[in-house]
Structure 1
C-alpha cells in the first residue's frame, strides 16, 4: 500500500450473515422422529411397561408371586396348579410372549432417538467447525491488516525522521545565512 492509499477496513470483506444458533435444540423433543407405534398413548405405555421389566421392583415382585404360588400349591392350601405347575409355566410363557415384543419396541424407539441425537450432534459439530473456520479466516485477515499497518507505520516513521533531518538541515542553513552575516556586520 502507498502512503496515501486508504487503510483496509473490516467492511472491505464480503459480509456473511451469522448462522442462527439454537441453544435449546438439545432440550426440545425431536418432532421429526417417527417411532414404531407413534407417540400415541399405547406406544408410550408399552415402552414404559417394557422398561419396567428390568427394574428391581419387577424382579422382586415376580419372585414373591412365584414363591407364594408354589408355597400355596405345595402346602395344600389350594390345588389350582399342582406340582408340575403347568399354569405357572403358561403364565411365564404368556409373559415372555408379550415382554419380548415390548422390549424390542422400546429398543427400536431408543435406537431411533439415539440416531436423531447423533445426527443433531454431527450437525452441531459441523456448525462449530464452520464457525471456527470463519473465526480463523477473520483472524488471518486481521493479522494481515495489522502487518500492513505496522509496515505503513514503519514507512511513516522513516519519512518523519527524514523530514525532521531535512528540517534541521534547513534550519541550520537558514541560521548560517541570516544570523551569521548579521553577527559579522
Structure 2
C-alpha cells in the first residue's frame, strides 16, 4: 500500500512539524487591528504648520495679551463668588504652561517639515547646477574646437598675402624681371570679393 500525500509530507518535514498555512501573494492582506489611533501624518503636519504660523504673528500676541488682561481683571475685580482663579493666578499659569508645552512641539514639527522641503529644494538646485556646469563645459569645448578649426582655415587675406609673396619671389628669380600670369577678368574677381564679404 503506497503512503498517501500527507504521510509523505510529514516524513519529509519531520513527524512533529505542523503544516504551515500558505499565504497568498496575489491577494492583499487583511488589515490588522491596532491599539493606537491612526492619523494622516501629512494632514497633521499641515495643521501644525498653520498653528505655528499663527503663533508667530503679532495677532496671536495681541489676542494672548487681551485674554490675560481680561483674565486678571476679572479675577481681581469680579465678585468673590464669580472668581475662578484668585490672586496667585495658579490656573492662569497652568494654562500658559499647557499652551507653551503644545506650542513648542508644533513649532519644531513645522520647522522639521520646512527643513525637509529646503533639503529637497537644495538637492534640485544642486542637480540643476550640475547640469548647467556640464552644459557650459560642453559649450566651452565646442567653442575651443571651432577656434582650433578656424585657425586652420585659409582666409582670403592670407591667400592674397601668400600670392603676393609668390609674385615677389618669381619677379626676383626671373632674369628679365617680367612675370607673365594668366589674366583673370577683374569684374568677376571684384564681384566675388564683394559676395565673400
- Same fold, TM-score > 0.5, yes or no: yes
Determine the C-alpha separation between the residues in 1 that align with 2:120 and 2:58: 30
Matched, 1:112 2:122: no
Determine the C-alpha separation between the residues in 2 that align with 1:46 and 1:119: 25
Which residue of 2 is the match for residue 142 of structure 1? Answer: 146
Contact (CA 8 Å) 2:75, 2:84: kept in 1 or not? yes
Q: Secondary structure at 2:153's aligned position in 1?
A: helix
Mapping of residues 45-84 of structure 1, within 5 Å: 45-77=47-79, 78-84=82-88
Mapping of residues 29-40 of structure 1, within 5 Å: 38-39=41-42
| Count of aligned pairs between the two proteins | 134
Larger radius of gyration: 2
Give the direction of change, closer, same or farther, for the CA distance of 1:71–1:156 in structure 2 (3 Å limit): same
TM-score by length of 1: 0.63
Give the direction of change, closer, same or farther, for the CA distance of 1:171–1:65 in structure 2 (3 Å limit): closer
TM-score by length of 2: 0.59
Q: Secondary structure at 1:119's aligned position in 2?
A: helix
Q: Secondary structure at 1:98's aligned position in 2?
A: helix
RMSD (Å) for aligned C-alpha atoms: 2.8
Determine the C-alpha separation between the residues in 1 that align with 2:146 and 2:77: 89
Query: Alpha-carbon deviations, 1:48-91, whole Å to 9, x = none?
Result: 10121110000000000000000000002431111111111111
Give the direction of change, closer, same or farther, for the CA distance of 1:159–1:38 in structure 2 (3 Å limit): farther
Determine the C-alpha separation between the residues in 2 that align with 1:54 and 1:139: 53
- Return the structure number with greater relative CO, CA threshold 8 A, min gap 6: 1
Displacement, 1:113? 1.1
Query: Alpha-carbon deviations, 1:145-167, whole Å to 9, x = none?
Result: 1101137973586358748x79x
Which residue of 2 is the match for residue 4 of structure 1? Answer: none
Contact (CA 8 Å) 2:45, 2:113: kept in 1 or not? no
Query: Alpha-carbon deviations, 1:80-137, whole Å to 9, x = none?
Result: 1111111111111111111111011011111111111111121121111111101100
